[in-house]
Chain A
Amino acid sequence: MNELKKEIERPELFNAIRNSITDARFSAKKLAEVFTDNIQPLRMEESENVFVNLSQNIQELDCFMGFMAELREGMRFFDGFGLPPDPISSQGAGMNLFQEMNSSLASKDWIMLSDLIEYELSPLLLREDEWLGSLSDKISEYDA
């Protein structure tokens, strides 16, 4: 364990982690933006384009969630830097939301899905971005 921690603490790795957090913050903001952009078409149309975009956004969200899962795993070695859990994992918020989104997708309740994206997912992604910002600051402090 200590060996692994030492490995992680190498400056180049710290840099890589910091960079990936910057990327993840960009992704979180971008995802919040593109999901928001697609809400209106999703409420108004039933075109192929709307569903292609939605499916692409969901795939990107999946990648982001994959990264966040890895990040949470890595943070265990630093006792989470004393930060509260990230908003998506806090009290299963993300899990509950994704289940609701899945269920509205399955029942083709596009209004419900739009609502969940507009009023739940996008704000959650923006809060996740803020949390990632705090994490980045903590890592900088730790590194210094």
Chain B
Amino acid sequence: MSFENNISALRQTDGELAEILSNRRGVSHVEVVNTKKNIPSLRVNNISLHSLYDPVKEAEAWVKFYKGDIDKEASIYVFGFGLGYHLQELCRVTDRLVTVFEPSIDVLRKAFETVELTSVLSRIKIITDCSIPALNHRFSVLHHKPSVTLNREYFDDIHAKLRSREAIRRGLRILVVSPIYGGSLPVAGYCSSSLIKMGHTVELIDNSRFGDALFYAKDISENRQRYNSMLNHLSSFISEAVTARCETFRPDLVLALAQAPLAAGCLDNLRRKKVTTAYWFVEDFRFMEYWKNIAGHYDFFFTIQKGQFFNELQGAGIKNYHYLPMAACPDIHKPGRLSEDEMKYYGSDLSFVGAGYYNRRQFMRGLLDFDFKIWGSDWDLHSDLARCIQRGGARIDTDEIVKIFNASKININLHSSTYHKGINPFGDFINPRTFEIMACGGFQLTDRRPALDGLFEAGEEIIVFDDLGDLRSKAAYYLDHPEERNMIAQRGRQIVLREHTYENRMKEMIEVIAARGLRQPLWPDEGEEVEGLIEEAGRDSELGKYLYRFPGKRKITLSDITDEISRTEGEISGTEGIFMLMNEFVR
């Protein structure tokens, strides 16, 4: 009878688990035994989960033992279900949210068969796998010791993940390392600003400052060996600088963007210090094979391709890889009002922004009869495309690119290929331009790629073409239907803002890292207790009130305070000014 009642109660909150428990058959290693009090207890593999004399008294003592933790935090996590005596007692003394982790379906089944639990099942959430709910509050963990002893590995894993979640909720210290140059350089900035918006303390190591040195090395000698040697020295120098900065900044996570020049030794050193490292490889693995040398040195490896790349990563023994497509940065890639002159200068019926790769040079020749502008470098200025190429094939900066996306009636997007004549039929990633045009509210015609399917609804949010003929007819159609064009562009912008911003990507990245467990770095424990400082300054004093803005932090350092001041907009207060001055003295 208990079982039916319990299952029926569970079905109200967790139908899936109710189904699993209903279908479970009993097993011999989970044994219900009678106690001296004539109520049931449980033994698993000959280990008692509850007192064999008085399990209710034991449960009362358990709650009493944890009383402080129960009253302290908003959420309570209990490790171990047993027959639920401790949960019944817990729910009697608190109305807080209770989540119970129990990996043994057999134990749960037995508990449901044996004890009437309906009064608590509406109050608790049961988790049987390794998934951790999002944390919005501080929490307490209460151990049902015999259950924990029986499943030590599982509970150690859950504990580590909860610690990660808690660290993330409080805000991580993240060091973002950019490349020296290239397409992923601005992406490092977008990631950095998104992470700050998410509440993390972020420092961006902008390696573009070494651009001159890199190009100097490139130009100074034709000897490839010498160039590689100089490159290695530069990489060692930057790695040393990153290591030095880590010692001061004490990050929880180091995120490197594609081509960030971090040497293996630096990464191994961070691993020894238990700093979690992640790499976002925003490159085509078929052309940039350097991933083979670096992927294994990072704890997490994020890619813009899956399928074949995942097979290659598996083959190379890499485990923690995860698909993370490109995105847009709505603070940069946004609709904007253009003057009449700007519209005239940047606008056209058709435009293309990007470098003149082989396939593009071939393909774009089929569009010469349109009002067509090509922006970007590496185009053949002596070909018949020359009349479309703007500013003599100069590189275009981001501000102008945004204006072009805004001003063009149709933005063409053709993913690059060095040997196909048009569309690369094997292309399996989406370039940033796809997202950026949409975030600007621009209308886009892009080459068909299977990877688009999971991201956008073709025909509704984006229009794809299969070959030149298809592009020409669709371009003509949409030039004649501006309202339809505008509707699609608006829907495209909405989906990008909702799902495809760098903030979305960083949330996903942090989620992946949290789910697998963020390590606790071995940085020295510095800082002062916030509560103690507030107490010392006086709760109503100016300084005390100021320090209330760090409620999530247990300890703070002077650099935490000055970081916060630097992030805050507006005029600096007197207190803030003193902190900044103190920081200058320290520096």
The chain A residues found within 8 Å of chain B, CB to CB, are 40, 43-46, 107-112, 114-115, 118-119
Contact = CB atoms under 8 A, between A and B. Distances in A.
B159 to A, nearest CB: 14
B61 A43 contact: yes
Contact of A46 (B48, B53, B149): B149
B86 to A, nearest CB: 11
Contact of B51 (A44, A108, A111): A111
A109 B46 contact: yes
Given A43-B58, A109-B46, A115 B51 contact: yes
A62 to B, nearest CB: 25
B238 interface: no
B434 to A, nearest CB: 54
Interface in B53-80: 53-54, 58, 61-62, 65
Contact of A110 (B52, B61, B143, B145): B145
A111 to B, nearest CB: 4
A38 to B, nearest CB: 13
B296 interface: no
A111 B48 contact: yes
B188 interface: no
Given A111-B146, A119-B36, A40 B65 contact: yes
B145 A45 contact: yes
A110 B149 contact: yes
B126 interface: no
A108 B47 contact: yes
A118 B58 CA distance: 11
Interface string B4-48: 000000000000000000000000000000001000000000111
B433 interface: no
Given A45-B145, A46-B145, A112 B61 contact: no
B259 to A, nearest CB: 48
Given A43-B58, A119-B36, A110 B53 contact: no
B470 to A, nearest CB: 68
Contacts of A44: 62, 65, 143, 145
Contacts of B52: 111-112, 115
A119 B58 contact: no
Given A111-B49, A114-B51, A115-B51, 9 more contacts: A40-B65, A44-B145, A46-B149, A109-B48, A110-B145, A110-B146, A111-B47, A111-B52, A119-B54
A115 B50 CA distance: 10
Interface of B: 36, 46-54, 58, 61-62, 65, 143, 145-146, 149
Nearest to B48: A111
B62 A43 contact: yes
Contacts of A119: 36, 53-54
A133 B145 CA distance: 39
Nearest to A103: B46
A58 B51 CA distance: 21
B320 to A, nearest CB: 31
A54 to B, nearest CB: 14
Contacts of A112: 48, 52
B58 A108 contact: no
27 contacts: A40-B61, A40-B65, A43-B61, A44-B62, A44-B65, A44-B143, A46-B145, A107-B46, A107-B47, A108-B47, A109-B46, A109-B47, A109-B48, A110-B145, A111-B47, A111-B48, A111-B49, A111-B50, A111-B51, A111-B58, A112-B48, A115-B51, A115-B53, A118-B53, A119-B36, A119-B53, A119-B54
A112 B52 CA distance: 7
Nearest to A113: B48
A43 B80 CA distance: 14
Contacts of B47: 107-109, 111
Contacts of A107: 46-47
Nearest to B64: A40
A64 to B, nearest CB: 24
Nearest to B61: A40
Nearest to B149: A46
A112 to B, nearest CB: 5
Nearest to B142: A44
A115 B51 CA distance: 6
A108 B145 CA distance: 12
